[in-house]
Amino acid sequence: MDTLPPFLEHVGNTPLIHLREASARTGCTILGKAEFMNPGGSVKDRAAKYLLLDALKRGLVEPGGTVVEGTAGNTGIGLTLAGNALGLKTIILMPETQSAEKQSALRGMGAELRTVPAVPYANPENYVHQARRLAESMADGAAHGVVYPNQWDNPANREGHLASTGPEIWEQTGARVDGFICAVGTGGTLAGVSEYLKSRNPGIVTAAADPEGAGIHDWIKFGEIRSSGSSITEGIGQNRVTGNLEGALIDDAFRIPDSELVPVLWELIGREGLYVGASSAINVAGAIRLAEQLGPGHTIVTVLCDSASRYESRLFNRGFMESKGLPMPPWFD
């Protein structure tokens, strides 16, 4: 494709924001990559861009065709908007436990949304498996093609971050970056950025920030998927080694409980003026942990994934937060 539609053209090149509170607390420079400023509102716009461009390049689908994906929401939003710009229809399968805001956004953007019960990946009725089977069942006789992007195991996801996010961070920091950390959903962001940064400087420390209920922390630290507990975060927290994680160059991991990420979230909103969601907060909490481990004077980069507006019905719901034993924002008192 010689000329990209405006949506795809403007994915990426997001700014790095200096996080004053986290930096002051650690004596490091902690920077957040403002991925919520992508045109579809999240870091997943990058995966959507590279997954669809790869599918088009390989002739798996063409304008008039259909994209079928299983997603917790943000990749679905990115795929739907990018698909609209490319003349593709979108069918999204999503666990019914995901926020009402993401569900209504997908419908408003024109996706055909099918919500299904939330069951583990090992269950054949998991939304990822259902999406794959649906795409396979639609493929025969589809005039313009049906593609299952498979954000989890498709290397185009990881390669998109290797080609864009990593180089942007290297350039924006003037090659002065000591650590990178983010949470794992598909693993594409962490694996792709880590691969690029380490190709420029093998001494850069890369790490995962893992919520409770996820097993990547123990896989990185001990070589075994183990998990316990649960988290209010959505779209992150993996209990299998995805294709995008296989062979990833990741040095360390930190398990961040909700009780640690929520105060960071209120600080990001109330003191930094950054209206971001819980996944951004777990990333910043992880960056604080990594900064404390490396010591003062280092530069740590993390990802500000999306907006709190996609989770308002939960994050600012007193009954929901109190049921989890978590505090409301101080300005609600």
**Which residues are identified as catalytic?**
44
Place of tokens 């209206």: 275
Tokens of 31: 């920077």
Task: From 19, 70, 18, 43, select the one nearest 267 (Cα to Cα).
Answer: 19
Q: What are phi and psi of 157, to 5 degrees?
A: -65, -55
Letter for the amino acid at 64? G
CA dihedral 182, 183, 186, 190 (to 10 degrees): 20
- Could you tell me where the DSSP H helices lie in 14-73? 20-26, 44-57
Task: From 299, 260, 300, 295, select the one nearest 281 (Cα to Cα).
Answer: 260
Place of tokens 């805001």: 101
Pairing between β-strand 66-70 and β-strand 29-34 as defined by DSSP bridges = unpaired
Q: Are 259 and 246 in contact (CB under 8 A)?
A: no
d(CA 116, CA 152): 18
Task: From 58, 66, 108, select the one nearest 86 (Cα to Cα).
Answer: 66
Please calculate the CA angle 322-328-108 and round it to the nearest 5 degrees.
Answer: 95
Please give the order of strands across the beta sheet that includes 112-116.
112-116, 89-95, 66-70, 146-147
